[in-house]
Protein backbone atom coordinates (compact mmCIF):
# COMPACT_ATOMS: atom_id res chain seq x y z
CA UNK A 1 0.00 0.00 0.00
CA UNK A 2 2.85 2.42 0.63
CA UNK A 3 6.56 2.63 0.26
CA UNK A 4 9.20 4.82 1.81
CA UNK A 5 10.56 7.57 -0.44
CA UNK A 6 14.15 6.94 -1.43
CA UNK A 7 15.18 10.25 0.11
CA UNK A 8 13.79 9.43 3.46
CA UNK A 9 16.53 8.18 5.68
CA UNK A 10 18.66 11.24 6.07
CA UNK A 11 17.75 13.80 8.70
CA UNK A 12 14.44 13.62 10.62
CA UNK A 13 13.12 16.75 8.88
CA UNK A 14 13.67 15.14 5.48
CA UNK A 15 11.72 12.05 6.37
CA UNK A 16 8.48 11.57 4.55
CA UNK A 17 6.21 8.66 3.88
CA UNK A 18 4.50 8.42 0.50
CA UNK A 19 1.04 6.97 0.59
CA UNK A 20 -0.07 5.87 -2.87
CA UNK A 21 -3.67 5.61 -1.69
CA UNK A 22 -3.84 9.36 -1.15
CA UNK A 23 -3.62 12.02 -3.85
CA UNK A 24 -1.21 14.14 -1.84
CA UNK A 25 1.85 13.59 0.33
CA UNK A 26 0.76 13.30 3.91
CA UNK A 27 2.32 11.71 6.92
CA UNK A 28 1.17 8.57 8.69
CA UNK A 29 0.25 8.31 12.35
CA UNK A 30 1.84 5.08 13.60
CA UNK A 31 0.36 3.67 16.81
CA UNK A 32 3.34 1.82 18.21
CA UNK A 33 3.20 -0.77 21.02
CA UNK A 34 6.19 -0.79 23.36
CA UNK A 35 7.28 -3.32 26.05
CA UNK A 36 5.31 -3.81 29.30
CA UNK A 37 8.53 -4.69 31.12
CA UNK A 38 10.97 -6.72 29.07
CA UNK A 39 12.72 -4.52 26.49
CA UNK A 40 13.38 -7.54 24.29
CA UNK A 41 9.67 -7.48 23.47
CA UNK A 42 10.00 -4.45 21.20
CA UNK A 43 9.68 -5.53 17.59
CA UNK A 44 12.25 -4.74 14.89
CA UNK A 45 9.49 -2.93 12.99
CA UNK A 46 8.60 -0.78 16.01
CA UNK A 47 12.26 0.20 16.36
CA UNK A 48 12.56 1.05 12.67
CA UNK A 49 9.47 3.21 12.74
CA UNK A 50 10.54 5.01 15.93
CA UNK A 51 13.84 5.72 14.17
CA UNK A 52 12.33 6.88 10.87
CA UNK A 53 9.39 9.09 11.85
CA UNK A 54 9.86 12.82 12.26
CA UNK A 55 8.37 12.96 15.75
CA UNK A 56 7.35 10.67 18.59
CA UNK A 57 4.29 11.71 20.61
CA UNK A 58 4.86 10.08 24.01
CA UNK A 59 2.74 9.84 27.14
CA UNK A 60 5.86 10.66 29.17
CA UNK A 61 8.87 11.88 27.20
CA UNK A 62 11.31 11.00 29.99
CA UNK A 63 10.04 7.44 30.25
CA UNK A 64 10.11 6.96 26.45
CA UNK A 65 13.51 8.69 26.38
CA UNK A 66 14.95 5.76 28.37
CA UNK A 67 13.61 3.27 25.83
CA UNK A 68 14.91 5.32 22.90
CA UNK A 69 18.38 5.79 24.35
CA UNK A 70 18.58 2.05 25.10
CA UNK A 71 18.25 1.50 21.33
CA UNK A 72 20.24 4.55 20.22
CA UNK A 73 17.22 6.31 18.72
CA UNK A 74 17.48 10.09 18.53
CA UNK A 75 14.07 11.00 17.05
CA UNK A 76 12.61 14.11 18.74
CA UNK A 77 9.77 13.54 21.20
CA UNK A 78 6.81 15.61 22.35
CA UNK A 79 4.48 14.88 25.25
CA UNK A 80 0.91 13.76 24.63
CA UNK A 81 -0.95 12.79 27.78
CA UNK A 82 -4.51 12.85 29.06
CA UNK A 83 -4.23 16.49 30.20
CA UNK A 84 -2.92 18.01 26.94
CA UNK A 85 -4.22 15.61 24.30
CA UNK A 86 -7.21 17.76 23.35
CA UNK A 87 -5.17 20.95 23.12
CA UNK A 88 -2.29 19.36 21.25
CA UNK A 89 -3.93 17.05 18.72
CA UNK A 90 -4.73 19.81 16.20
CA UNK A 91 -1.08 20.83 15.82
CA UNK A 92 0.01 17.19 15.46
CA UNK A 93 -2.64 16.66 12.79
CA UNK A 94 -1.27 19.78 11.07
CA UNK A 95 2.19 18.25 11.02
CA UNK A 96 0.81 14.99 9.62
CA UNK A 97 -1.03 16.92 6.92
CA UNK A 98 2.20 18.72 6.07
CA UNK A 99 3.83 15.37 5.35
CA UNK A 100 5.57 14.48 8.60
CA UNK A 101 5.01 11.01 10.03
CA UNK A 102 4.43 10.66 13.77
CA UNK A 103 4.66 7.68 16.11
CA UNK A 104 2.29 7.58 19.07
CA UNK A 105 3.57 5.64 22.11
CA UNK A 106 2.49 5.27 25.72
CA UNK A 107 4.58 4.41 28.77
CA UNK A 108 4.05 0.69 28.21
CA UNK A 109 2.10 -1.61 25.96
CA UNK A 110 -0.41 -0.62 23.34
CA UNK A 111 -1.37 3.08 23.22
CA UNK A 112 -5.04 3.94 23.86
CA UNK A 113 -5.73 0.78 25.89
CA UNK A 114 -6.25 2.39 29.30
CA UNK A 115 -3.80 4.96 27.90
CA UNK A 116 -4.01 8.30 26.05
CA UNK A 117 -4.11 8.71 22.28
CA UNK A 118 -7.71 8.07 21.26
CA UNK A 119 -8.48 11.76 20.68
CA UNK A 120 -5.46 12.24 18.42
CA UNK A 121 -6.37 9.11 16.46
CA UNK A 122 -9.95 10.33 15.99
CA UNK A 123 -8.72 13.71 14.79
CA UNK A 124 -6.33 12.07 12.33
CA UNK A 125 -9.09 9.80 11.01
CA UNK A 126 -11.43 12.79 10.66
CA UNK A 127 -8.73 14.58 8.64
CA UNK A 128 -8.53 11.61 6.28
CA UNK A 129 -5.02 10.69 7.36
CA UNK A 130 -3.51 7.27 7.43
CA UNK A 131 -3.40 5.69 10.90
CA UNK A 132 -1.41 2.50 11.10
CA UNK A 133 -0.96 0.06 14.00
CA UNK A 134 2.43 -1.34 14.89
CA UNK A 135 1.21 -4.18 17.12
CA UNK A 136 3.08 -5.58 20.08
CA UNK A 137 2.86 -6.00 23.86
CA UNK A 138 -0.38 -5.56 25.77
CA UNK A 139 -0.83 -6.61 29.40
CA UNK A 140 -4.48 -7.66 29.00
CA UNK A 141 -3.86 -10.05 26.11
CA UNK A 142 -0.62 -11.36 27.64
CA UNK A 143 -2.47 -12.13 30.90
CA UNK A 144 -5.35 -13.77 29.03
CA UNK A 145 -3.00 -15.90 26.96
CA UNK A 146 -1.55 -17.63 30.06
CA UNK A 147 -4.67 -17.69 32.21
CA UNK A 148 -5.99 -21.04 31.02
CA UNK A 149 -9.47 -19.50 31.23
CA UNK A 150 -11.96 -19.53 28.33
CA UNK A 151 -10.85 -17.00 25.75
CA UNK A 152 -13.07 -17.55 22.75
CA UNK A 153 -14.99 -14.47 23.82
CA UNK A 154 -14.00 -12.03 26.53
CA UNK A 155 -14.64 -8.52 27.84
CA UNK A 156 -11.98 -5.96 28.74
CA UNK A 157 -13.10 -3.56 31.47
CA UNK A 158 -10.00 -1.36 31.95
CA UNK A 159 -9.48 -0.17 35.54
CA UNK A 160 -12.25 -0.50 38.17
CA UNK A 161 -13.42 3.00 39.08
CA UNK A 162 -12.45 4.40 42.48
CA UNK A 163 -15.71 6.16 43.40
CA UNK A 164 -17.95 3.78 45.26
CA UNK A 165 -21.13 4.47 43.25
CA UNK A 166 -19.23 3.92 39.98
CA UNK A 167 -17.65 0.80 41.43
CA UNK A 168 -21.05 -0.74 42.21
CA UNK A 169 -22.11 -0.20 38.58
CA UNK A 170 -18.79 -1.51 37.27
CA UNK A 171 -18.99 -4.70 39.36
CA UNK A 172 -22.58 -5.19 38.26
CA UNK A 173 -21.44 -5.01 34.63
CA UNK A 174 -18.75 -7.56 35.41
CA UNK A 175 -21.18 -9.86 37.26
CA UNK A 176 -23.56 -9.99 34.32
CA UNK A 177 -20.87 -10.34 31.64
CA UNK A 178 -21.32 -14.13 31.65
CA UNK A 179 -17.89 -14.67 30.14
CA UNK A 180 -14.20 -14.12 30.81
CA UNK A 181 -13.44 -10.57 31.93
CA UNK A 182 -10.02 -8.89 32.01
CA UNK A 183 -9.20 -5.79 34.01
CA UNK A 184 -6.25 -3.78 35.30
CA UNK A 185 -5.68 -2.86 38.92
CA UNK A 186 -3.15 -0.91 40.94
CA UNK A 187 -1.14 -2.62 43.72
CA UNK A 188 -2.75 -0.70 46.57
CA UNK A 189 -6.28 -1.63 45.50
CA UNK A 190 -5.81 -5.21 44.29
CA UNK A 191 -6.81 -6.91 47.58
CA UNK A 192 -9.89 -4.75 48.08
CA UNK A 193 -10.93 -5.30 44.47
CA UNK A 194 -10.52 -9.08 44.63
CA UNK A 195 -12.52 -9.15 47.87
CA UNK A 196 -15.29 -7.08 46.30
CA UNK A 197 -15.17 -9.35 43.27
CA UNK A 198 -15.65 -12.38 45.54
CA UNK A 199 -18.59 -10.70 47.24
CA UNK A 200 -20.15 -9.84 43.89
CA UNK A 201 -19.70 -12.94 41.78
CA UNK A 202 -18.85 -15.68 44.26
CA UNK A 203 -15.96 -18.10 44.16
CA UNK A 204 -15.18 -17.95 40.44
CA UNK A 205 -11.84 -18.89 38.87
CA UNK A 206 -9.33 -16.11 38.43
CA UNK A 207 -5.82 -15.71 37.13
CA UNK A 208 -3.90 -12.79 38.60
CA UNK A 209 -0.85 -11.80 36.56
CA UNK A 210 1.73 -9.66 38.31
CA UNK A 211 4.75 -7.99 36.72
CA UNK A 212 4.39 -9.83 33.41
CA UNK A 213 7.64 -10.14 31.41
CA UNK A 214 9.65 -8.67 34.33
CA UNK A 215 12.10 -10.24 36.75
CA UNK A 216 9.46 -10.89 39.44
CA UNK A 217 6.73 -12.12 37.10
CA UNK A 218 4.19 -14.13 39.05
CA UNK A 219 0.90 -15.82 38.16
CA UNK A 220 -1.62 -16.95 40.75
CA UNK A 221 -4.50 -19.04 39.46
CA UNK A 222 -7.42 -20.66 41.25
CA UNK A 223 -10.72 -19.97 42.94
CA UNK A 224 -10.77 -16.37 44.03
CA UNK A 225 -11.12 -17.39 47.71
CA UNK A 226 -7.66 -18.96 47.58
CA UNK A 227 -6.04 -16.25 45.47
CA UNK A 228 -6.93 -13.26 47.69
CA UNK A 229 -4.54 -14.20 50.50
CA UNK A 230 -1.69 -14.95 48.07
CA UNK A 231 -1.92 -11.55 46.46
CA UNK A 232 -2.28 -9.60 49.70
CA UNK A 233 0.61 -7.22 50.29
CA UNK A 234 2.22 -7.83 46.87
CA UNK A 235 3.57 -4.90 44.93
CA UNK A 236 3.90 -4.37 41.20
CA UNK A 237 1.54 -4.17 38.24
CA UNK A 238 -1.50 -6.42 38.15
CA UNK A 239 -3.82 -7.69 35.45
CA UNK A 240 -6.75 -9.85 36.51
CA UNK A 241 -8.56 -12.40 34.34
CA UNK A 242 -11.86 -13.72 35.74
CA UNK A 243 -14.02 -16.54 34.46
CA UNK A 244 -17.37 -15.00 35.32
CA UNK A 245 -19.19 -17.61 33.26
CA UNK A 246 -18.54 -20.56 35.58
CA UNK A 247 -18.60 -21.00 39.35
CA UNK A 248 -15.86 -23.18 40.86
CA UNK A 249 -18.27 -25.08 43.10
CA UNK A 250 -19.41 -27.24 40.19
CA UNK A 251 -22.52 -29.23 41.02
CA UNK A 252 -23.88 -26.66 43.44
CA UNK A 253 -26.89 -24.91 42.07
CA UNK A 254 -26.60 -21.17 41.62
CA UNK A 255 -29.19 -20.46 44.26
CA UNK A 256 -28.45 -22.54 47.35
CA UNK A 257 -31.01 -24.06 49.62
CA UNK A 258 -32.02 -21.31 52.08
CA UNK A 259 -30.78 -23.60 54.85
CA UNK A 260 -27.23 -23.17 53.51
CA UNK A 261 -27.28 -19.39 53.79
CA UNK A 262 -26.36 -19.25 57.50
CA UNK A 263 -23.22 -21.29 56.79
CA UNK A 264 -22.23 -19.04 53.90
CA UNK A 265 -22.97 -16.01 56.11
CA UNK A 266 -20.80 -17.41 58.91
CA UNK A 267 -17.94 -18.06 56.47
CA UNK A 268 -18.09 -14.51 55.19
CA UNK A 269 -18.26 -12.81 58.58
CA UNK A 270 -15.86 -15.06 60.49
CA UNK A 271 -13.33 -16.23 57.87
CA UNK A 272 -13.42 -13.27 55.51
CA UNK A 273 -13.91 -10.57 58.13
CA UNK A 274 -16.93 -8.97 56.47
CA UNK A 275 -19.45 -6.96 58.47
CA UNK A 276 -22.96 -8.37 58.86
CA UNK A 277 -24.34 -5.84 56.36
CA UNK A 278 -21.58 -6.55 53.79
CA UNK A 279 -22.16 -10.30 54.03
CA UNK A 280 -25.93 -9.95 53.56
CA UNK A 281 -25.45 -7.74 50.48
CA UNK A 282 -22.79 -10.06 49.07
CA UNK A 283 -25.03 -13.13 49.45
CA UNK A 284 -27.97 -11.26 47.95
CA UNK A 285 -25.93 -10.12 44.94
CA UNK A 286 -24.34 -13.49 44.41
CA UNK A 287 -27.60 -15.44 44.40
CA UNK A 288 -29.90 -12.84 42.90
CA UNK A 289 -31.92 -12.44 46.14
CA UNK A 290 -32.98 -9.25 47.86
CA UNK A 291 -31.23 -8.20 51.07
CA UNK A 292 -34.55 -8.75 52.85
CA UNK A 293 -34.81 -12.33 51.61
CA UNK A 294 -31.33 -13.11 52.92
CA UNK A 295 -32.07 -11.36 56.20
CA UNK A 296 -35.32 -13.33 56.58
CA UNK A 297 -33.55 -16.64 55.88
CA UNK A 298 -30.95 -15.86 58.54
CA UNK A 299 -33.62 -14.83 61.07
CA UNK A 300 -35.68 -17.99 60.37
CA UNK A 301 -32.60 -20.09 60.92
CA UNK A 302 -31.95 -18.33 64.24
CA UNK A 303 -35.52 -18.93 65.40
CA UNK A 304 -35.49 -22.59 64.42
CA UNK A 305 -32.22 -23.10 66.28
CA UNK A 306 -33.73 -21.82 69.60
N1 LIG B 1 -1.59 0.23 27.47
C2 LIG B 1 -1.08 -0.74 28.41
C3 LIG B 1 -1.18 -2.12 27.79
O4 LIG B 1 -1.29 -2.23 26.58
O5 LIG B 1 -1.14 -3.11 28.51
C6 LIG B 1 -1.78 -0.64 29.73
C7 LIG B 1 -1.63 0.70 30.38
S8 LIG B 1 -2.44 0.85 31.90
C9 LIG B 1 -2.21 2.56 32.23
C10 LIG B 1 -1.29 0.16 33.02
C11 LIG B 1 -1.87 -1.06 33.74
O12 LIG B 1 -1.68 -2.21 32.91
C13 LIG B 1 -1.14 -1.38 35.02
O14 LIG B 1 -1.65 -0.63 36.12
C15 LIG B 1 -1.43 -2.85 35.17
O16 LIG B 1 -2.74 -3.05 35.68
C17 LIG B 1 -1.39 -3.33 33.71
N18 LIG B 1 0.00 -3.75 33.40
C19 LIG B 1 0.92 -3.04 32.73
N20 LIG B 1 2.07 -3.74 32.67
C21 LIG B 1 1.86 -4.90 33.31
C22 LIG B 1 2.67 -6.02 33.59
N23 LIG B 1 3.95 -6.06 33.22
N24 LIG B 1 2.13 -7.05 34.27
C25 LIG B 1 0.83 -7.02 34.66
N26 LIG B 1 0.02 -5.98 34.43
C27 LIG B 1 0.53 -4.92 33.77
Domain boundary among 206, 233, 249: 249
Same domain, 245 and 259: no
Which pLDDT belongs to residue 14?
38
Is the full-model pTM beyond 0.75?
A: yes
140 CA distance to ligand 1 centroid (A)? 7
Q: Are 138 and 109 spatial neighbours (Cβ–Cβ below 8 Å)?
A: yes
As a whole-number percent, the residues of the chain with pLDDT over 90 amount to 66
Same domain, 16 and 107: yes
Reported as a pLDDT band with limits 50, 70 and 90, residue 7 is: very low
**CATH code of residue 215:** 3.30.950.10
Reported as a pLDDT band with limits 50, 70 and 90, residue 256 is: low
Domain boundary among 81, 110, 137: 137
pLDDT surpasses 70 at 252: no
Q: Is the CB of 35 under 6 A from ligand 1?
A: no
DSSP string, the chain: -EEE-TTTTSSGGG--EEETTSSS---EEEEE-B-SS-GGGS-HHHHHHHHHSSEEEESSHHHHHHHHHHTT----EEE--TTTHHHHHHHHHHHHHTT--EEEE-SSBSTTSSSS-HHHHHHHHHTT-EEEEE----HHHHHHHTT-S--SSEEE--SPPSSHHHHHHHHHHHHT--SEEEEEE-TTTHHHHHHHHHHHH-SEEEEEEESTTSTT-EEEEEEHHHHHHHHTT--S-EEEEEEEEEESSTTS-SSPPGGGHHHHHHIIIIIS---HHHHHHHHHHHHT--HHHHHHHHHHHHHHH-
Range of the domain at 259: 253-305
Same domain, 133 and 10: yes
User: What tens digit of pLDDT does each residue of 68-125 get?
Assistant: 999 999 999 999 999 999 999 999 999 999 999 999 999 999 999 999 999 999 999 9
77 CA distance to ligand 1 centroid (A)? 22
pLDDT surpasses 50 at 1: no
220 CA distance to ligand 1 centroid (A)? 17
Q: Is the CB of 141 under 6 A from ligand 1?
A: no
Q: Is the CB of 184 under 6 A from ligand 1?
A: yes
**Separation of alpha carbons 90 and 150, rounded Å:** 42
Which ligand 1 atom is the nearest neighbour of the CA of 211? 24
Same domain, 131 and 153: no
Reported as a pLDDT band with limits 50, 70 and 90, residue 240 is: very high
Q: Number of folded domains in the chain?
A: 3
pLDDT surpasses 60 at 227: yes
Which pLDDT belongs to residue 107?
98
What is the rounded average pLDDT for all residues in the chain? Answer: 87
Same domain, 237 and 290: no
Same domain, 97 and 145: no
Q: Give the closest residue to 241 by CA, choosing from 158, 168, 143.
A: 143
238 CA distance to ligand 1 centroid (A)? 7
61 CA distance to ligand 1 centroid (A)? 18
pLDDT surpasses 60 at 52: yes
pLDDT surpasses 60 at 285: yes
pLDDT surpasses 60 at 290: yes
Amino acid sequence: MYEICAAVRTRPSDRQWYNKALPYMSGTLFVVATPIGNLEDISPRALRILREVGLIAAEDTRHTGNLLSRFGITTPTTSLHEHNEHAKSASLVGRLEAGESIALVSDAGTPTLADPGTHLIRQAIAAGLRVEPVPGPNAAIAALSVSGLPNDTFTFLGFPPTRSSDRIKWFEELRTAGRTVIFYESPHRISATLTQLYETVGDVRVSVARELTKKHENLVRGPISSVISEVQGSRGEFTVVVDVGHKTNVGQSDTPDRAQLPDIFRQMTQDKGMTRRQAISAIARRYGLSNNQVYAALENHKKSAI
